[in-house]
Structure 1
């Protein structure tokens, strides 16, 4: 490993003239996703009320998520075939067009079409931006970049609902969606100014991975629908989703034009175990993310603002932890942070459950801090380690697969949490005691999944410590 990668970068460098344009591009790429998520959750109920089709509101998120994951899965190939600049411009154009369709929609069907196009564009943007990090920044600044991205998410978590609420109340719900148009235009302008006009790859030797992308989309669609149907059907859909996603990985290994690295999700490699950590942590964290705000209102009588504030503590802790660990430069500490992240997540989920059952808000807040810190302290180290363990030929595939895998984990986690809640009788609960009994299996699923991430993280760091590259860098 070069001295450049070992030296500790400074925050001033990330925002200095040399790297400021690249920092701005990545911040805007994250903001497109982060603000869109919070704008949508706030403005969509009003849109549904005006346009009708209340039964379709869940699909506004489902279609966005499915197409975002499909876009992310094909991002490395898009970057290879079109070049980074063209791929980002095309992706931003998709997102912009989708935002216009939603903002000008005359029916819920148009809203859904726009959301699907938004998701496809945003999935591509997010994954390509991840792949560009090692190209635009030296290794010493990568943790700082993750700290910056965590700050963008925290700002969006607080500012997004406020902006969307004000626009929806005093202007129109359409204005809340059309805000994304200006962000997409600015992003495209920055791409033109900063991203190198890399040469497109040889398209003649590229097979379009249509079947694999359809399998990914079908698997995630099955996961998303599983959270909306009765338990027996949900179980069948989750089994089908697992079969489709496993089939995608196996089919990809045998394909000439691969979407994933050859050792994706293989237990005997650093990359494989790292991707399992990347998947399992969001699956586990979705437990609290999906139900905490609702539970605080149902069990403790909190209003939406107070309950939302408790949930927002997680975002603050995430950002704070990411900033604190941004100065980490040695591999040994990175390995410890990768192991500590899932372990702290396990404790945090158990702590939220204990706090809810005992009526202790202080314990819930402390557990929320632990959950947020688990992601903030481990994400950058996980990414840096994955990039260090891969080859130049596979770097784009690994980098693009990270945000896509995280999105898939959120979808799977929400479905598993919903299934556990339905099986435990959550939907029919009416008292605090009944809610308390129903959520125990929900958080048990989350904590159990986090424990699996602990095992994958331990395996990953063990394999990494035995690699020649790790021993050379430590020496």
Structure 2
């Protein structure tokens, strides 16, 4: 039975697990889960891999390379899906992602592994965008918050068990299976999505011109700027600060055509929604990367115990995602984004207070768990709002823009935070970084009501 389009009548089912959607829902969940697991697992095994392949000097590049290539994959996917839909692109994206995994799993040198990571980035970025468009065209609008809540869970579970499971695989089976094993499972998960893709049209939209080579070039330039920000953010010198600011300017100039017009002026509706993604990823992850460090330095906690704070946050993220999906259209997207931003301010405020006053560690655990809940409210509703405010011919471009904004906010704030931490006075590193993130989250609270917008007319 073919899936119903987003323009179907109000008599549609209220669950994403109904027979018309079940195979697609499960297939997408497992596919997103495996992409997330691979992302988490690489962090665990890469030190071992770089040592065995005698490529320690390429360690940072192994992580930065897929960031740059992912930008290209996202933008290319946006261009293609707007013109031909996600049908054929998703096949290609999964194939490229799996080829990259196989190359990594069979790599004999670090250079070969980085080549595989580049393909992973292209395929993974394209998969994300294609799935967003698939949701827009295969599920009715009132189910979007529920499917994005499921996606959030697909990312949270690997965050909790991925590193541990990857370590077991690397030790008892071999690190190569962390890559090759995922490739096999990805293909199996994709099989569940194929029936829904068959029912979709792949005819070219005659109203859109050729694929923009300029946008692809700008995506590549933005990716290189993001890599530079990450690398320079780890050098910790006055020259690195100057280089980082230059890379940030290049990224902001290059990325403007890749985002909806009015994003940087925070125009109401879709542009403001994009800007909230930049600020929320920058504020939250700009703090989270330093929390294990803070707990080790100020509380002398071992890595496994320090990691529990991230586990608590991940669990609450899942709860927040479930709740916003349960609420559905009873609570507006804008309201969910505002509530999530307020919860994020509590979390970052708690982290800042912890760095200053050193309360019992349980205070930080609870505060950061509130932040995880807020992220669970924000992330799915930003995606839902983006699709609701997108015309059919813009779904690919806007899905691409959302993922690009995600990468820019995360990488930019983390890199700037690294320089701020290094240049801060003795004992002020954590306070300075957390203060910077507090400014970002307060800006987010102010602009979140501007995410309200008028949905475009339904297109056949």
TM score, norm. by length of structure 2: 0.90
Q: Distance in 2 between matches of 1:410 and 1:9?
A: 37
Q: Distance in 2 between matches of 1:25 and 1:248?
A: 35
Structure 1 segment 36-55 matched on structure 2, within 5 A: 36-55=38-57
Contact 1:218 1:244 in 2 (8 A): no
Task: Name the counterpart of 1:413.
Answer: 413
Q: CA deviation at 1:7?
A: 9.3
Q: CA deviation at 1:360?
A: 1.6
Task: Name the counterpart of 2:247.
Answer: 241
Unaligned runs of 5+ in 2: 1-5
Encode CA deviations 1:182-238: one digit per residue, 9 max, x unaligned. 122124423433213532426973342342222222221222222222332332233
Contact 1:80 1:200 in 2 (8 A): no
Are 1:33 and 2:56 matched, yes or no?
no
Task: Name the counterpart of 1:398.
Answer: 398
Q: Distance in 2 between matches of 1:5 and 1:344?
A: 36
Are 1:448 and 2:439 matched, yes or no?
yes
Q: Distance in 2 between matches of 1:383 and 1:7?
A: 24
Higher helix share: 1
SS at match of 1:190: coil
Q: Distance in 1 between matches of 2:328 and 2:164?
A: 37
Contact 1:88 1:191 in 2 (8 A): no
Contact 1:6 1:330 in 2 (8 A): no
TM score, norm. by length of structure 1: 0.87
Contact 2:62 2:117 in 1 (8 A): yes
Question: Paired residues, what number?
Answer: 447
Encode CA deviations 1:24-62: one digit per residue, 9 max, x unaligned. 232133223310111101111111121122222121111
Encode CA deviations 1:11-32: one digit per residue, 9 max, x unaligned. xx22232111221232133223
Contact 2:60 2:231 in 1 (8 A): no
Shift in alpha-carbon separation, 1:249–1:213, aligned structure 2, 3 A:
closer
Q: Distance in 1 between matches of 2:20 and 2:276?
A: 33
Contact 2:282 2:437 in 1 (8 A): yes
Q: Distance in 1 between matches of 2:130 and 2:405?
A: 14
- Structure 1 residue runs of 4 or more that deviate by more than 6 Å after TM superposition: 2-9
Are 1:458 and 2:439 matched, yes or no?
no
Q: Could you say what the CA RMSD is over the residues aligned between the two structures, in angstroms?
A: 2.6
Task: Name the counterpart of 1:339.
Answer: 338
Structure 1 segment 42-441 matched on structure 2, within 5 A: 42-81=44-83, 83-196=85-198, 197-201=200-204, 205-209=210-214, 210-250=216-256, 252=257, 259-330=258-329, 333-356=332-355, 357-424=357-424, 436-441=427-432
Q: CA deviation at 1:239?
A: 2.5
Shift in alpha-carbon separation, 1:79–1:459, aligned structure 2, 3 A:
closer
Encode CA deviations 1:314-350: one digit per residue, 9 max, x unaligned. 1111100110121223475433222122222122111
Task: Name the counterpart of 2:3.
Answer: none
Q: Distance in 1 between matches of 2:271 and 2:330?
A: 19
Shift in alpha-carbon separation, 1:70–1:224, aligned structure 2, 3 A:
farther
Q: Distance in 2 between matches of 1:42 and 1:284?
A: 24
Contact 1:91 1:125 in 2 (8 A): yes
Encode CA deviations 1:227-259: one digit per residue, 9 max, x unaligned. 222332332233223332332345x3xxxxxx5
